[in-house]
A and B are shown apart, each in its own frame.
Chain A
Amino acid sequence: MIRINDIPVRVEPSSVPTTDIAVSIQPFLAVLESMLLNLIADGLGDSLDLRRAPLSEDQRLQLRSVLGSGEAYVRIEALGRTEFEEMGVKGLWWVTHRNPRGEIVAEFIEAAYVPTLLSVTAADVAEGVQSLRGLMFANGQAGRLGEDEQAVPFGRA
């Protein structure tokens, strides 16, 4: 069975003048500025839903090019892959959500110190402590020293 991804795709350059594209993304840059200012003012992040924004493919590429690339890239696997790409404009993250088949199901530009999905909650950390204690207990119980071995204190090589 031929799948949709098997159909060859040829991308042709846009016939719209580049300057027209640059002007048309100015409103989006203003929105992103507003989001960053709000982040500084009240510490609350926000997102621009790219699926719902009136952006053509050319404008989307132009916006991405203008924002540039940052230093950080994070990939998580949760109900499919989600990628977080720090933009060259600090505080902005390009977030791409994919389903388990790899198809993009949503895209956002998020203004945040750390993207919401990346952060860990206090409850998560508490759960982590319990998990670690379980591992420590299991390690202590399972390890039986041979005659020539000496006990190695936890935390030392």
Chain B
Amino acid sequence: MSAKETVWESLSRQGVSRRGFLKFCAVTASTLALSPKEGALLAETLAGQPRPTVIWLSFQECTGCTESLTRSFDPTLETLLLDHLSLDYHHTLQAASGARAESARTTSMRDNYGKYVLIVDGSIPLGQNGAYSTIAGVSNLAMLKESVEGAALVIAVGTCASFGGLPMAEPNPTGAVGVRELMTRGQITSKPLINVSGCPPVPEVISGVIAYYLVYGALPALDAQGRPSVYYANTVHDCCTRLPHYQAGRFAQSFDDAGARLGYCLFLLGCKGPTTHNACSTVKWNGGTSYPMNSGHGCLGCAEPNFWDKGGFYNMLATVPTPSGGSCTAPAQPPL
């Protein structure tokens, strides 16, 4: 297959019909909070885009982010997009191994210098000169430093790559940091960076970010943590189905008690929803099926920095921020 092949040509060759492609774009636009008219533009633009080269580097990670993106449903709209990127390097998905795999990576980086998308999952250990995590004898830091040079865009997938994640939890034995921290410190070249945090992130958020970049060739609006505002502007509390009970002062006292079964708020049971920005209660999980609070468990706060070290998952928040005031709906919707 040609790397110059367009996204539509690639999908068509795989048997996707024009209707299937339009449907994919309509659903992706919906998850991106684009209006249906913008969805039509997405289809028109995406159809003619060449397949971008993607290098995916996995460092100190559990593979949960890859699992989130590739295991949701099969075949899926998300895997469709992933399959038809020119994914030239990915530890879990690639068939090659050893020297051949590394050669494929360096060749792809050289041939697409300045144009490839670099996706990183997992934190980067700095302790012991990076010896805690190496690939082909090369430390994660050294590999990232080399790979960032020719990247047009860097996407840090998951809380580990975004903020350090679980490996960074006290006492942070490996000296783990996220990609942004390395750019801030000047240890790697600064490039356009999107943080897609979550442990793991919602799969549609991952694919939506990629689709947005393919169509617009630019970063979406980002929040203070470098995350796409369209997905992370609201807290999961803002759009939670249990919010009316929170506002009415009705709280579950223990898991699965009578109040919990009636949908009472899980705040007293340690829910971190009020301080966690993510798309769980809007985009939801498992193709829009549900999300943790809807299923009876409080939010762990996994899309936020240092969520492992915030006093325990079942300890009640000491303070609750004032509501963000954001809408649970797409800003591009027709005005009501």
Contacts and interface: CB of A to CB of B under 8 A. Distances in A.
Interface of A: 4, 27-28, 30-31, 34-35, 46-49, 51-54, 76, 78-80, 82, 97, 99-101, 103-106, 108, 110, 116-117, 121, 124
A103 B334 contact: no
A53 B36 contact: no
A47 B26 CA distance: 10
12 contacts: A4-B289, A35-B334, A48-B36, A99-B77, A100-B76, A101-B73, A101-B287, A103-B288, A103-B289, A105-B27, A108-B36, A116-B22
B20 A79 contact: yes
Given A46-B37, A52-B330, A78-B19, A106 B336 contact: no
A57 to B, nearest CB: 10
A24 B87 CA distance: 47
A97 B23 contact: yes
A105 B77 contact: yes
B333 interface: yes
A53 B328 CA distance: 8
A79 B80 contact: yes
A52 B333 CA distance: 8
Interface class of chain A by DSSP: mixed
Interface string B315-336: 0000000000001111001111
Given A46-B37, A78-B23, A124-B18, A103 B329 contact: no
A97 B26 contact: yes
Contacts of B20: 78-79
Chain A CB within 10 A, most for which of B17, B22, B30, B80 = B30
Interface string B194-223: 000000000000000000000000000000
Given A27-B336, A103-B287, A52 B23 contact: no
Contacts of A116: 22, 40
Nearest to A98: B287
